[in-house]
Amino acid sequence: MTRKRIVIVAVLLLIISVAGFGYWRMGAGGKESSYTTVPVSRGTVTQVVSSTGTLQAVVTVLVGSQVSGTIAKLNADFNTRVKKDQVVAELDQAKFSARVDETRANLRAAEAGLAKSKVAVEDAARTLARNKELMQRELLSQSELDAAQTAYDAALSQLKVSQAQVGQAQAALHQATIDLGYTVIRSPVDGIVISRNVDVGQTVAASLQAPTLFNIANDLTKMEVHTSVDEADVGNVSEGQDVTFTVDAFPARRFRGKVFQVRNAPMVVQNVVTYDAVVRIDNKELLLKPGMTANVQFLVSQKEDVLTIPNMAIRFKPPEEKNEAQELLRQEQSRTAPRPGARRTSRSGSGGGAGARRVRQVRIYMLRDAKAQPIDVQLGISDGSKTEVVSGELKENDPVIIGIASGAASQTGVANPFQANQPRPFGFR
């Protein structure tokens, strides 16, 4: 009997405990807020302009050939360090050497012709002088004197022709010598070979433009990033501005640089206007390589130890205020809608532009006594996820509302798209 009483008492106590716990949960659930809140916190806010670009050497020289020929020797390869005037390649010189010999022979022939013309001029001059003397003695006819004069003038003209032929031969020899020199290709700068486009035995044709044989970077310890900045953000980018960026090869490392130049030439691609911002960086460790894609962030502003709120708190509006705002918007649109035949006018606002103040006043909501209380605050810079609070009745750890808690949507008048008798999106049943 005693054991039976003990069992009965234990069962009654268990029932009372379960009932008390359920009552407590019901009471506590009634006091739970229907809003989701986040405390106001202090921290650092950094405003940046993001872009992407490509790493390049500051000075890159394309080494080509000014004459056509066959590659006979290659004295440089990928990653070869070269000095200025160092021979990096040679073309087959047989044809060019033959051309030099030919033009040198032509020059000698022209010089011989010049000597012959000089002798002819001297002979014609002596004949003319002798005929003039005979003419004075009346021992020679006038026609013979005229013939001597004509021969002398012709000899002088031939002398000038011979002199011009010598000049032409000298120019041809000089050109042939220059072409022979072009068969030896030298580096124009100190640097490192980052690209080689030919092999031994390959024929290069320099008909319309010089073919590229090597791509030499002058100094890879100094590099630059060419980024495309959108026209909406170019006003926040200026020369000397601090820049940070990452590359896929070193995702955990952040590199630093400064804006060297913001070019004024616009680039339009599919009606999108961008501007080229050049960022100079120090690459002493030679970790960065030409052609890498850089994810660049231009530092616009940074503030430390300031009150911050999440951007979701700025976008939050209570359901009843949303409905009122939508009704007011509909009324305003219907009131200002143009009547048929009415003349439309445009009016530009006065609050935008690069000179507009960054401080803006908005209304957010703080949770007090389980209710959403509106508070007007002035906001500063934002990093995309949180925003600086410049002034307002907010203190650290104050709960600001960012949304409505799940399960409370029906109590706040927000329609649930998955309730019964309502169409379910995306084919859910």
pLDDT one digit per residue (tens) for the chain, 429 residues: 566 667 676 666 777 766 665 555 554 444 455 888 889 899 999 889 999 999 999 999 999 999 999 999 999 999 999 999 999 999 999 999 999 999 999 999 999 999 999 999 999 999 989 888 888 888 888 888 889 899 999 999 999 999 999 999 999 999 999 999 999 999 999 999 999 999 999 999 887 777 889 999 988 999 999 999 999 999 999 999 999 999 999 999 999 999 999 999 999 999 999 999 999 999 999 999 999 999 999 999 888 888 998 999 888 888 766 555 555 556 555 655 544 433 333 333 333 333 334 678 888 888 888 888 888 889 988 888 889 998 888 888 888 888 887 655 544 444 444 333 444 443 333
Asked if 48 and 383 touch (Cβ cutoff 8 Å), the reply is: yes
Our count of domains for the chain comes to: 4
Asked whether residue 212 falls in the same domain as residue 197, the answer is yes
Q: Which domain holds residue 289?
A: 48-58+222-303
> Do the domain assignments include residue 422?
yes
Asked if 52 and 227 touch (Cβ cutoff 8 Å), the reply is: yes
Asked whether residue 257 falls in the same domain as residue 131, the answer is no
Asked whether residue 269 falls in the same domain as residue 279, the answer is yes
Asked whether residue 326 falls in the same domain as residue 375, the answer is yes
Which helix (H) or strand (E) is 163 found in, with range? helix 142-182
Asked whether residue 155 falls in the same domain as residue 227, the answer is no
Residue among 288, 208, 202, 203 at smallest CA distance from 245: 288
Q: From residue 60, how far is each of 56, 86, 192, 239 by CA, in Å? A: 8, 17, 10, 23
Asked whether residue 139 falls in the same domain as residue 176, the answer is yes
Question: What is the pLDDT, as a whole number, of residue 368?
Answer: 85
Residues making up the chain, counted from first to last: 429
Distant-in-sequence, close-in-space partners of 299: CB < 8 Å, separation ≥ 6: 46, 47, 48, 241, 242, 243, 244
Question: What is the pLDDT, as a whole number, of residue 317?
Answer: 84
Give the Cα-Cα-Cα angle 245, 249, 250 (nearest 5 degrees).
Answer: 55
Question: What is the pLDDT, as a whole number, of residue 209?
Answer: 77
DSSP state string for 182-207: HTEEE-SSSEEEEEE---TT-EE--S
Asked whether residue 188 falls in the same domain as residue 233, the answer is no
Question: What is the pLDDT, as a whole number, of residue 9?
Answer: 64
Asked whether residue 173 falls in the same domain as residue 190, the answer is no
Question: What is the pLDDT, as a whole number, of residue 22?
Answer: 56
Asked whether residue 414 falls in the same domain as residue 323, the answer is yes
> Do the domain assignments include residue 341?
no
Asked if 58 and 280 touch (Cβ cutoff 8 Å), the reply is: yes
> Do the domain assignments include residue 29?
no
> Do the domain assignments include residue 382?
yes
Question: What is the pLDDT, as a whole number, of residue 95?
Answer: 93
Asked whether residue 423 falls in the same domain as residue 327, the answer is yes
